[in-house]
Structure 1
Amino acid sequence: MNSETLKIRTKTCSISIGKLISTLPFNVLNKNDSNQLVRCSSSVGAKYRAACRAKSTADFLNKPKIVEEELGESMFFLELLEEFNPDLKVDISNNWKEGNELLSIMVSSIIRIGKNEQNRKTS
């Protein structure tokens, strides 16, 4: 998967989560969890774009790790929202699945980048 496709997917994921959040009933739990989810889910796309513009190898290695963290947090808050909003289980689950796919892609990329960097250092 190329970087342009991932830029689109991370942005689409953030938009989908934003639309989901806008359908949540207002209560204290949804307010707090959705506020956290807005921040971490929108950060996924922003940090991925920053990774694509990395200025050094260290920067290039670090930014995808931040994306990985933000995806993990997003998935956690989706899990909490699912517990408190069972009527939205399908929509929440669909967003969780996309987050999990993106997380798998990021982890694979991080491993590949690390191996490439190790090979470069030993060559």
Structure 2
Amino acid sequence: MSESIVKNKSYQLALDGVNLFKLLQERKEFMLSKQFLRSITSVGANVREAINAQSKADFIHKLSISQKECDESF
């Protein structure tokens, strides 16, 4: 089975998000950076949960949570 494009892109998003987090920390934006890090890394976590969902409804629900976290990050 081939790798999931969404899984790969969410992983890259998390890596890019961590780099932005570091930049925000350097600029002393502590509260903003911590919330950003939580929401941006949650996207990938929820995508991985969706991949392992037990039903189609569970899959859709987990991906919708991931979408909300992505929206919160930007």
Structure 1 segments, 4+ long, off by >2 Å, are: none
Gaps of 5+ in 1: 76-123
TM-score (norm 2): 0.86
Aligned to 1:11: 11
Q: Unpaired segments of 5 or more residues in structure 2?
A: none
What is the identity, as a one-letter code, of the residue corresponding to 1:18? V
In the alignment, structure 1 residue 31 sits paired with structure 2 residue 5: no
Query: Does the CA contact (< 8 Å) of 1:3 and 1:52 recur in 2?
Result: no
Which letter does structure 2 place at the counterpart of 1:21? Answer: F
Q: Scaled by the length of structure 1, what TM-score is found? A: 0.54
User: Radius of gyration: which is bigger?
Assistant: 1
Structure number having the greater helix percentage: 1
Deviations 1:12-46, CA, capped at 9 Å, x for gaps: 111111111112211xxx11111111001000001
What is the CA-CA distance between 1:3 and the residue it aligns to? 6.0
% same residue: 31
**Distance in structure 2 (CA, Å) of the matches to 1:11 and 1:57:** 23
The alignment's C-alpha RMSD in Å is 1.5
